[in-house]
Chain A
């Protein structure tokens, strides 16, 4: 069975840093697309970042230059390093596996999600 487990959340002051981890079981992170999606309190879902199987990385404009996604294949874990944190980064952060279906074109969707890690940025 496929599982993703986030860890590393917590309370951090504005301007501080935090690193989230997404440990995978039942899948190999280096063979998959792994996303980070966040949800601010009482709000909707916001895509944050992705690391592709080939190693390419992408970021939402709201976090570009401050967040870095990476992976450690030996630990089968994806990381999200978050620097220069702001109050508006307060959210539950989910990692999610992205899958592609081929049927009248390519269709991408997130089919496996972790339970989430809570990040609170406050003084």
Chain B
């Protein structure tokens, strides 16, 4: 199984900050990497697919990069609605998808 490890597990930041979240795969997954946002009590929401493609309707302050085993999600200027938990997911080995453990982004 492909294991996905996210860091940090939690992060405190302020509105307007630029933040970068990291996801590492246990083996190379090319660019088969998706990012989801989950607000408390809500369903996950797709932000980025194929490592760097922005899902329709997602603000351009979100961007993704990486390939192989190391990936990042960057939020260029944090907005109040961005405080949530973020998950990466590998889509290299369908249908056995695995998610990272999540990074909780909190208000400082």
Measured CB to CB, the closest approach of chain B to A35, in angstroms, equals 8
B50 touches A60 (CB 8 A): no
Enumerate chain A residues within 8 angstroms of B102, measured Cβ to Cβ: 44-45
Q: Tally A residues with Cβ within 8 Å of B.
A: 25
Chain B at the A interface: SS class: loop
Docked complex Cα distance between A88 and B49 (Å): 30
Q: Tally B residues with Cβ within 8 Å of A.
A: 27
A-B pairs under 8 A by CB, number: 70
Is A79 on the interface with B (CB-CB < 8 A)?
no
Partner-binding segment picked from A7-15, A16-24, A106-114: A106-114
B43 CB contact (under 8 Å) in A46, A47, A94, A105: A94
A47 CB contact (under 8 Å) in B38, B49, B96: B96
Enumerate chain B residues within 8 angstroms of A105, measured Cβ to Cβ: 30-32
B43 touches A115 (CB 8 A): yes
Is A2 on the interface with B (CB-CB < 8 A)?
no
Residues of A within 8 A of B (CB): 35, 37, 44-47, 50, 52, 58, 60, 94, 96, 101, 103-105, 107-111, 113-116
